[in-house]
Chain A
Amino acid sequence: MAFTSAVITFPGSNCDRDMAVAIEQVCGGTVHRVWHGDADLPEGLDFIALPGGFSYGDYLRSGAMAARSPVMQAVVRAAERGVTVLGVCNGFQVLTEAGLLPGALMRNAGIRFVCRDVALTVDNNQSLFTAGYDAGQQIKIPVAHHDGNYFADDATLDRIEGEGRVAFRYAEAVNGSARNIAGVLNDRGNVLGMMPHPERMIEPAHGGSDGRALFENVVRGLVSA
């Protein structure tokens, strides 16, 4: 069966088209574009992506309003059924605000917006999203965020590290994130949130293609599952 995915667009999303193009080019199949006000998702989804941007102008807290929008109720239900969900940048913020991932993303420790390529280390290469990388592999992926400073209490950090739920860490100082965490998995491993943008690194013209393996592996993992 053809790979079926959806990219959710909130008012203020601005990486939704990039995300859709990356999925189309790397995963193939049908990519549905879904508006935040839709109460239902298309039938038979394999994969849902929450893109980067500034949903609802980052009012109240980054991702807070989007996490309470009608479509997110459907995304939460889909994630609970086991549908694969990726949230990038603002999408990661939305996933934490929606309670699908632990912790919160706070203002960067250096106050400034950070927009550049950063080095990441693949911490766990056993997940659906990261199995295309080697454990400990260093990759280059761009970040572009103001609120990427990952916070969780020590007990939570110990737990997610112990359970292998840190997918990526920053290999350099970026935003003050606790334990340099750049990407986190849920307990079941079907939801990943990450601040760096893999969809912006899928072909040499982007300056690198280190993000490609993530999308390749999602489709490989789901089709063979």
Chain B
Amino acid sequence: MKVRVIVTLKNGVLDPQGRAIHHALEGLGFEGVNDVRAGRVIELDVADSTSDTTLDEMCKKLLANMVIENYRIEKAA
């Protein structure tokens, strides 16, 4: 089973990398960019029997730092 974990910074957490990307886009002349937040995508190939609970634990114990990040799990159809 292919699983995609999307890790993003929580709202309210300053994102220096997102800000730098935003700045660079403006520098390239792109207009109307209101905000940029940078995150991380982690693709897993796991046994079909892997439970949602186990996936949640993987995210909470390692893939995301719950102090500053949220995560979302997407399973490939």
Contact = CB atoms under 8 A, between A and B. Distances in A.
B15 to A, nearest CB: 8
Report, as a range, how many residues of chain A touch the other chain. 10 to 19
Contacts of B67: 96, 102-104, 151-152
A183 to B, nearest CB: 17
Identify whether the interface residues of B are mostly helix, strand, loop, or mixed. helix
A63 to B, nearest CB: 10
A64 B68 contact: no
A109 B65 contact: no
Contacts of B62: 60, 64, 68
A61 interface: yes
A108 B20 CA distance: 12
User: Chain A interface mostly helix, strand, loop or mixed?
Assistant: loop
Size category of the binding interface on chain B: 10 to 19
Interface in B43-76: 61-63, 65, 67-68
Contacts of B33: none
Contacts of A149: 14, 16
A107 interface: yes
B66 to A, nearest CB: 9
Nearest to A152: B67
A106 B69 CA distance: 11
A176 B16 contact: yes
Interface string A173-187: 000100000000000
A106 B13 contact: yes
A106 B37 CA distance: 14
Which one of B14, B20, B63 has the highest number of Cβ atoms from chain A below 10 Å of its Cβ? B14
B32 to A, nearest CB: 23
Interface of B: 13-14, 16-17, 20, 61-63, 65, 67-68
Given A64-B62, A104-B68, 11 more contacts: A60-B62, A96-B67, A97-B65, A106-B16, A106-B68, A109-B14, A111-B16, A111-B20, A151-B13, A151-B68, A176-B14
Interface of A: 60-61, 64, 68, 96-97, 102-104, 106-111, 149, 151-152, 176
